[in-house]
Structure 1
Amino acid sequence: MTDIDKTAHDTGTEPGAGSATESAAGSAADTAPRSDREGLDARLVVDRGRFRLDVSLTAAPGDVIALLGPNGAGKTTALRALAGLTPLTQGHLQLDGAELDRTPPESRPVGVVFQDYLLFPHLTALDNVAFGPRCHGAGKAEARAQAAEWLKRMDLAAHADAKPRRLSGGQAQRVALARALANRPRLLLLDEPLAALDARTRLDVRAQLRRHLADFEAVAVLVTHDPLDAMVLADRLVVIEEGHVVQEGTPADIARHPRTDYIAHLVGLNLYKGEAEGHVVRLDAGPEITTTEDLTGPVFVTFPPAAVTLYRDRPTGASARNLWPCEVAGLETHGDQIRVALTGTLPLTADLTTASAAELGLRTGARIWATVKATQTHAYPA
């Protein structure tokens, strides 16, 4: 009986199931020689028909990277390539100096937490976490002792004997995280780890996950479509669109200097590109925006929807230097405010209180004037 078959027999898992699941959940073993260079150094090139992923990623131990992008951008493909579940067409993948390009998934020092967690339904929380160490040679008692320690770290000691169906979504997420970490991976991959949780649970688990990631000494890569998850959990954001990196940096830098419409929408800003001459930026679309920055050459200009003031009639004596006629294209509730989509000379979005929207009598098709003070704009080189 092989070690994996013996583990399956001890835990009640069908022979062969452990190998596939361990490929997903991660492994501690990596026999390839290592240099002194630690962390992740990868260029992930994957061709799939007309789609081509070409993304470079580097990270030091302790870094948490979030991959952001619209649906179909290539985030999940990148994660699967890191895990070894999708082969590279070209490029390279090094982890702590070891080449992993041709290393099978089950032999990579990689742990994965899937969106749906993929816990063994017939095993207790303790045995789910112990499964990885057992597959890699730990005795049953030793593996369970390690699993108990991880459940304690996750504040789940009281649920060690519970099977997945008796766990809440937040508890199941933490069991999946403990299972991935029990093998002490050098690369932790998290695929939309909070997507399956309700809003209240998500808030609590996000805070707990941030604490665990802060203590993680290797590289973590997070895929998410939620900008708040990315901003709270990651040290660096890598934004992917159509298979390529369009921007990367700290959450603060990305939020302040978006470079594509997707990123601007993500962080809640109006974004335009144009040519600056001093304090005036002539946009590619035609109109001008006056800013406080004194720049020359290609620039981006941003301002938040809350900076936009709307008037039914053209204002006279207004202090705003930027004034445009617009038409209401749509209205929707946005938190405790009304977000107004405007078309016309300058397409933009504006945020108003419900009272202000009612006072203006806003409706689709209504003509309106929009103003933005120069002091509320931000220009930066393109």
Structure 2
Amino acid sequence: MTQIEKTAHDDGAAPTPTGEGLDARLVVQRGRFRLDATLKAAPGDVVALLGPNGAGKTTALRALAGLIPLTEGHLRLDGDSLEGMPPEARPVGVVFQDYLLFPHLTALDNVAFGPRCHGATKAESRAQATEWLERMGLAEHAGAKPRRLSGGQAQRVALARALATHPRLLLLDEPLAALDARTRLDVRAQLRRHLADFEAVAVLVTHDPLDAMVLADRLIVIEEGRVVQEGTPGDIARHPRTDYIAHLVGLNLYPGQAEGHTVRLDAGPAITTAEELTGPVFVTFPPSAVTLHRDRPTGASARNLWHCEVAGLETHGDQIRAALTGELPLTADLTTIAAAELGLHPGAAVWATVKAAQTHAYPA
């Protein structure tokens, strides 16, 4: 018996179901915007919805929670339909971006609120809340009100409150967005441990690729209301299929048609690749694979050579990232010393080279 199932059994609540998980097609029409996304997850899965602002991530989460009605589609959890069921009756726990803790209640009573609403006595609900706070490492803060808690502590109280009702579906809306960088690092690791112990389905909404990669077993990328790619974090990082995903994982991405080791791009010149393929493909290479020259290089060591212009420069970690336009729009990373020696500035003409061995092509 898992720890969560054991706790549910010991405190009188029903054990976490081990049913079919989540099966949903979420269609929501709101004015000119239309969300049409299919989500499936097995019990124990952590799924991240990733996408740019306005893509439909939060709309999907609100539809799962019952806060927005479906225009079409279906929503089933462990084989049971949730359509038409009011939010408070759904076996769903939600951790909101700003946590939404009750400011007048202590941490203990915030966590006890859920079990109390589900029929537990005051003593039972507070006993369950005490156990959840201990599990979250917050036992000494049980009597503190939200204004006395740090961001990381408030996030864990909100998570404990959501889990205390033993939900079959846990929804997390940008759960780390309100934290500073240092706290975020610690809380991300703690949250990953808690999600690993969760036996039902968890759906995480985020625009942060690191949160998605660390916390989720599977990513579903949404752009303009539709799913554009899904898979494991590793697969998506290695094989991006849209410019948005390529930007997130730090790759230059180009679609084209492959003929052996040559890929003729849909927009731009040809690229010589390491792989030998035929038909529609994507080609990627990291900005670190790009070498810049002020004069056209001689010799044939670089099969890929393009005349470009510097469109912009920005600090990227301990390097300089150059955005280039011209024959092939791309980004290139170089050291501060190299940028200074090349005399780079917006408008400067450069030659960009990439070795075929540093490219990666895969079927579209």
TM class, shorter-chain normalised?
over 0.9
Determine the structure 2 residue equivalent to 1:330: 312
Determine the structure 1 residue equivalent to 2:9: none
RMSD: 1.1
Determine the structure 2 residue equivalent to 1:165: 147
Determine the structure 1 residue equivalent to 2:174: 192
- Matches of 1:216 and 1:197, distance apart in 2: 23
Report the residue type matching 1:299 in the other structure: V
> Is 2:254 the counterpart of 1:272?
yes
- Matches of 1:135 and 1:285, distance apart in 2: 58
> Is 2:266 the counterpart of 1:284?
yes
Q: Deviations over 1:52-103 (max 9, x none)?
A: 1000000000000000111111000000000000000000000011000111
Determine the structure 1 residue equivalent to 2:299: 317
- Matches of 2:51 and 2:321, distance apart in 1: 23
- Matches of 2:298 and 2:268, distance apart in 1: 24
Determine the structure 2 residue equivalent to 1:339: 321
Determine the structure 1 residue equivalent to 2:282: 300
Q: Deviations over 1:156-183 (max 9, x none)?
A: 0010000000000000000000000000
> Is 2:358 the counterpart of 1:376?
yes
- Matches of 2:95 and 2:210, distance apart in 1: 19
> Is 2:61 the counterpart of 1:61?
no
SS at match of 2:176: coil
Determine the structure 2 residue equivalent to 1:244: 226
- Matches of 1:338 and 1:169, distance apart in 2: 33
Q: Deviations over 1:210-262 (max 9, x none)?
A: 00000000000000000000000000000001100000000000000000000
Q: Deviations over 1:121-148 (max 9, x none)?
A: 0110000000111111111111111001
> Is 2:134 the counterpart of 1:149?
no
Q: Deviations over 1:324-373 (max 9, x none)?
A: 01000000011111100000000000011111111111000000000001
- Matches of 2:153 and 2:268, distance apart in 1: 54
> Is 2:185 the counterpart of 1:211?
no
Deviation at 1:37, TM superposition (A): 4.7
Identity of aligned residues (%): 87
- Matches of 1:226 and 1:41, distance apart in 2: 25
> Is 2:32 the counterpart of 1:75?
no
Determine the structure 2 residue equivalent to 1:41: 23
> Is 2:96 the counterpart of 1:87?
no
Q: Tell me the TM-score normalized by structure 2.
A: 0.95
- Matches of 2:326 and 2:284, distance apart in 1: 18
- Matches of 1:256 and 1:182, distance apart in 2: 38
Deviation at 1:318, TM superposition (A): 5.0
Q: Which runs of 4+ in 1 moved over 2 A?
A: none
SS at match of 1:62: coil
- Matches of 1:100 and 1:178, distance apart in 2: 23
SS at match of 1:277: strand
- Matches of 2:330 and 2:221, distance apart in 1: 23
- Matches of 1:354 and 1:211, distance apart in 2: 39
What does 1:118-137 align with in structure 2 at a 5 Å threshold?
A: 118-137=100-119
- Matches of 2:177 and 2:300, distance apart in 1: 45
Structure 1 portions without partners, runs of 5+: 1-27
SS at match of 1:201: helix
- Matches of 1:187 and 1:286, distance apart in 2: 46
Report the residue type matching 1:289 in the other structure: I
SS at match of 1:263: helix
* Matched positions, count: 350
- Matches of 1:37 and 1:167, distance apart in 2: 37
Report the residue type matching 2:335 in the other structure: T
Q: Tell me the TM-score normalized by structure 1.
A: 0.90
SS at match of 1:228: helix
SS at match of 1:71: coil
SS at match of 2:68: coil
